[in-house]
């Protein structure tokens, strides 16, 4: 990757969005002039059900939670997006109706681009069009799987699954997230999250201090997670699918 492109796509900690970094130089060049780097704090609302966003976000070191807002105001996560994909109302096929809430669950660096420019790039580049399609597939897959997960799996198994998946996407064993945020994400009581976290800490699986969870024993945490852990996994990440598509194209 050229130095100017590297600067555009890399955050302060040296991380990069895997989808953007996986594109060819030609496709990156189409996007580059419209990209800007931003930093968002935890809790920042990127879009709301009645206010679709005009930007597309590529997480670099942050994590976006996509939640479905119920009529009583409750919100349950139907997907999350990290460095493996992009986020925004552009992921919804029907742009006039996007009934979700996009919130920064873990603050960090992001790259953003106006939706119109991103869609224009997708019309010019098959790779960017592929990125868009894979990212739409990714959020749809998560929504379907998590609907079943929330209905049949216990809170402790869902908690373990969420920690492992978030750790994989963030590529770190330490997550800067509060118990309140986790409870809201999983649609369970904060007191339930506290009890689960205390049990895991007593068993030496995690360490928890306010606003920070550190995974100490990943193997045991994985064993405590529901089987959705492997269903919504790395092979289905948009970044993984882009890399595989490019490898296949080179071998033809």
Contact 185, 105 (CB under 8 A): yes
**pLDDT higher than threshold 80 for residue 229:** yes
Query: How many whole angstroms separate alpha carbon 16 and alpha carbon 147?
Result: 30
pLDDT score at 173: 96
48 and 12 inside one domain: yes
Range of the domain at 17: 3-150+234-251
Contact 63, 81 (CB under 8 A): yes
Q: What is the three-class DSSP state of 155?
A: helix
pLDDT score at 210: 84
User: DSSP characters for 129-187?
Assistant: HHHHHHHHHHHHHHHHHHHHHHHHS-HHHHHHHHHHHHHHHHTSSEE---HHHHHHHHT
44 and 103 inside one domain: yes
Q: Categorize the per-residue pLDDT at 236 as very low, low, confident or very high, splitting at 50, 70 and 90.
A: very high
pLDDT score at 135: 94
67 and 161 inside one domain: no
140 and 200 inside one domain: no
Q: How far apart are the first and last CA of the chain?
A: 23
Q: Categorize the per-residue pLDDT at 7 as very low, low, confident or very high, splitting at 50, 70 and 90.
A: very low
Query: How many whole angstroms separate alpha carbon 67 and alpha carbon 156?
Result: 20
In angstroms and rounded to an integer, the radius of gyration of the C-alpha atoms of the chain is 18
Q: Categorize the per-residue pLDDT at 235 as very low, low, confident or very high, splitting at 50, 70 and 90.
A: very high
User: In sequence order, what E strands does the chain have?
Assistant: 36-40, 45-47, 55-59, 63-69, 75-81, 100-106, 108-114, 174-175, 206-209, 212-215
Average confidence score pLDDT of the chain:
88
Residue 163 φ then ψ, to 5°: -60, -45
Give residue-wise pLDDT tens across range 107-150.
999 999 999 999 999 999 999 999 999 999 999 999 999 999 99
Query: How many whole angstroms separate alpha carbon 175 and alpha carbon 162?
Result: 11
96 and 217 inside one domain: no
pLDDT score at 9: 52
- Please give the residue that has the higher pLDDT: either 124 or 50: 124
Q: Categorize the per-residue pLDDT at 93 as very low, low, confident or very high, splitting at 50, 70 and 90.
A: low
Give residue-wise pLDDT tens across range 164-190.
999 999 999 999 999 999 998 898 999
59 and 171 inside one domain: no
**CATH code: domain of residue 159:** 1.10.10.10
Q: Categorize the per-residue pLDDT at 76 as very low, low, confident or very high, splitting at 50, 70 and 90.
A: confident
pLDDT score at 49: 80
**pLDDT higher than threshold 80 for residue 53:** no
48 and 142 inside one domain: yes
**CATH code: domain of residue 244:** 2.60.120.10
**pLDDT higher than threshold 60 for residue 208:** yes
54 and 128 inside one domain: yes
Percentage of residues in the chain with pLDDT exceeding 90? 71
Compute the average pLDDT of residues 194-211. 95
Percentage of residues in the chain with pLDDT exceeding 70? 90
pLDDT score at 32: 92
pLDDT score at 97: 54
Query: How many whole angstroms separate alpha carbon 226 and alpha carbon 21?
Result: 31
């Amino acid at each position: 990757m050229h130095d100017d492109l590297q600067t555009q796509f890399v955050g302060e900690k040296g991380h990069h969005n895997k989808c953007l970094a996986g594109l060819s130089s030609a496709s990156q060049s189409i996007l580059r002039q419209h990209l800007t780097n931003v930093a968002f704090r935890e809790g920042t609302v990127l879009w709301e059900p009645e206010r679709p966003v005009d930007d597309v976000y590529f997480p670099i070191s942050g994590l976006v939670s996509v939640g479905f807002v119920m009529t009583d105001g409750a919100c349950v996560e139907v997907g999350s997006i990290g460095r493996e994909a992009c986020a925004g109302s552009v992921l919804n096929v029907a742009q006039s109706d996007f009934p979700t809430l996009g919130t920064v669950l873990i603050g960090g660096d992001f790259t953003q681009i106006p939706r119109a420019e991103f869609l224009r790039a997708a019309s010019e580049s098959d790779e960017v069009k592929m990125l868009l399609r894979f990212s739409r597939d990714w959020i749809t897959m998560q929504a379907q799987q998590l609907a079943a997960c929330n209905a049949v799996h216990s809170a402790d198994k869902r908690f373990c699954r969420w920690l492992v998946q978030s750790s994989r996407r963030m590529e770190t064993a330490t997550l800067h997230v509060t118990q309140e945020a986790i409870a809201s994400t999983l649609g369970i009581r904060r007191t339930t999250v506290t009890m689960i976290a205390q049990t895991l800490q007593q068993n030496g699986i995690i360490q928890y201090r306010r606003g920070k969870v550190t995974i100490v024993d990943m193997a045991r945490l994985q064993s405590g997670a529901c089987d959705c852990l492997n269903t919504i996994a790395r092979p289905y990440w948009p970044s993984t699918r882009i890399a595989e598509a490019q490898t296949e194209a080179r071998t033809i």
